[in-house]
Chains A and B, each alone.
Chain A
Amino acid sequence: MERYEIRLSGSGGQGVILASIILADAAIEQGLNAIQTQSYGPEARGGASKAEVIICRDEISYPKIRKANILLSLTQKAYDKYIGSLDRDGLLIVDEGIELSGNDPIKAYRLPILKNAIEKFDTGMVANIISIGAIYELIGEDVIHKDIMIRSISERVPPPTVQKNIEAFEEGIRLIRGYYE
């Protein structure tokens, strides 16, 4: 397996930090090395929010991402800010509401993440978990087992919302699978 440097970006309150924690948690459960870091502004809601996960078999020294090979952006502002840091061979996942600049890698996925969160799950709160589903589908089951991902989600979301979040995770997987169909 290669080294995954995943950057998740959006606005405060969208749960990108939690999403990054779930990913890192699952990677460690899988027996891999992972480091999760974040940067954030003074706002608890709104403002820019960025989280990073590095997943690798080897020990990880420098804990930050140099060149992301997966970038998730849920807001235009986050996309504009971080698209330049995505490797040319990397993978881009953005919400469909984002206008692409044209500087994107070949593999770019514009997905109805925020729309489906509200239409299918009645809450924008699951947008982060739909995003994890999409990222997971790109990383692949040979890196992290699906049941480990689901367990990690179940342990980190509020107990009454576990089922809804697992479905949101599946929704993210479906969005990627159906993308080029």
Chain B
Amino acid sequence: MNCSETTSKYYRVNRLPHIWCAGCGHGTLTNTVVRAIDKLKLNKDEVVIVSGIGCSSRAPGYLDFNTLHTTHGRALAFATGIKLANPKLHVIVIMGDGDSSAIGGNHLIHAARRNIDITTIVFNNNIYGMTGGQFSPTTPYGDLATTAAYGNIDKPFDLCSLAQGAGATYVGRATAYHAVLMQKLIEKGIQNKGFSFIEGLSICPTYYGRKNKKGNAFKMHSFLKENCIDKKLVDKDPDKGRNKILIGEFYNNPQPEYIESYQVIIDMFQG
């Protein structure tokens, strides 16, 4: 399916243009979500996209599914209610880095711990963009932000390790540059019966990039291209991973899913 077909089938075209800055990685990442849904031929009526607050969270508004734009950090808690109330629905959560791991960090680890069948996609641009460039829990150590005027002294989270450690059963990372891989990971995440966590490294040329002299959007995409390496290659040759950002499928280990476990309890009382 080409771009315009995808657009007309899955986007609320009358809601476009989107609010994202020129060069922002979020549009590409949103498209990988749409293409994954298309590839899996999911029924649009049965897809729910939930988001929190921030630049990333505007994505669902452009998409022609059941869409819910919630409060900051709480997307997974809303999503948990939806999924539990109607397990037939495919629930996909789109969050930002601050959204998912600062204000929503507690909800992230507990949704992962329960292994509830929700696919979580984090658009990680290392900054609070919507509010104008404050440091987030994924802003690298030493980098500048409007609230880290002398360099960030907070240590950043590795979101994938966090999710895996908390109990996610499918974990992977790709980038706005590695869109094909991103789409593939999302497909597998949706297919995983359990909590899936896919981090999409995005770029924010407007705030993070400008503040830290990372160059324009082209340069920032080039950075992703040149500094990321698939885990599979590093597994074969660990030297290749030195000073690189790992991408690819990190963890795929299906475990009993929360709602299925709950259904066993319900079934105890039937007939």
Direct contact between the two chains A and B in their complex (CB within 8 A): no
Interface positions of B (Cβ within 8 A of A): none
Interface positions of A (Cβ within 8 A of B): none
